[in-house]
A = this chain, B = another copy of it.
Amino acid sequence: MRVTFLGTGAAGGVPLYGCDCPACTRARAVVDFRRQPCTALIEAGETRILLDAGLTDLAERFPSGSLSAIVLTHFHPDHVQGLFPLRWGIGKNIPVYGPPDSEGCADLYKNHGLLEFRRLSKFEPVTIGNLVLTPLPLIHSKATFGYAIEDTDGQRFAYLTDTAGLPPRTEAFLKNWRPASFALDCSYPPQSDLPRNHNDLTLALTIAETLAPAKVWLTHVSHELDAWLLENIGDLPPHMAVAYDSQVVSDAGFL
């Protein structure tokens, strides 16, 4: 399995519009520090799955026929907005798996074009080519699934965003399933109040401690976390790393 973090940003991205904090200033000056909408590409042999579709240049990145499927965590715009132009295309249809959400986002269901929406059910695995994905309910303001992803070699990776903490059944599943590594929502630096909808670093650390994987990749990162990290980067334990846009993690990198 090969994981590419195509985007690692919170909803507003980094740099955030109108913000001159040290993180946003740095991202405006050096493109490597920018964070686009949270997205990952999962590859295993010929199978290529795009996890979320918030990037707005999907047509250029993924020519017709180059994706096995798109799998959505949920229907917030920062996770689906790239589908708006794509759907009007022609040629091969694209299966788009996602959580049960009767609303979807704007008119995506009604005018689905070449997108074939398929509803997943919690804890019911779906096989897409060389990958098996098990949807895991998360805690967010809209129906949201994380995914436990396994390839034919038994490599295990989990993708867990957007969420604030984990529901007991999802936590129990992951404790038992034992992924080598996972990507985890960490939108904010440590907050004084319990955050809603997204993890802060305190919650992310708690989850990492509970599940104890070899590696945790923090994603869905806001400019506030980036700014905090500029002063506190040494505070992250060695098995946790903040993912960056276009970072590739292949099998060896998991452990």
Q: In chain A between 1 and 46, which residues have their CB closer than 8 angstroms to a CB of chain B?
A: 11-13, 15-19, 37
- With CB as the reference atom, state the residue of chain B lying closest to A84: B77
Q: Is the interface of A mostly helix, strand, loop or mixed?
A: loop
7 A-B interface contacts by CB (under 8 A): A13-B88, A16-B88, A17-B59, A17-B90, A17-B91, A77-B107, A105-B106
Pairwise interchain contact B64-A17, C-beta atoms closer than 8 A: yes
- With CB as the reference atom, state the residue of chain B lying closest to A77: B84
**Distance to closest chain B CB from A228 (angstroms):** 16
Pairwise interchain contact A17-B76, C-beta atoms closer than 8 A: no
Q: Which residues of B contact A84 (CB under 8 A)?
A: 77-78, 81
* A85→B88 CA distance, assembly (Å): 22
* A233→B64 CA distance, assembly (Å): 30
Known: A56-B56, A106-B105. A17 touches B78 (CB 8 A): no
Of the candidates B16, B59, B92, the one whose C-beta lies within 8 Å of that of A89 is B16
Pairwise interchain contact B19-A85, C-beta atoms closer than 8 A: no
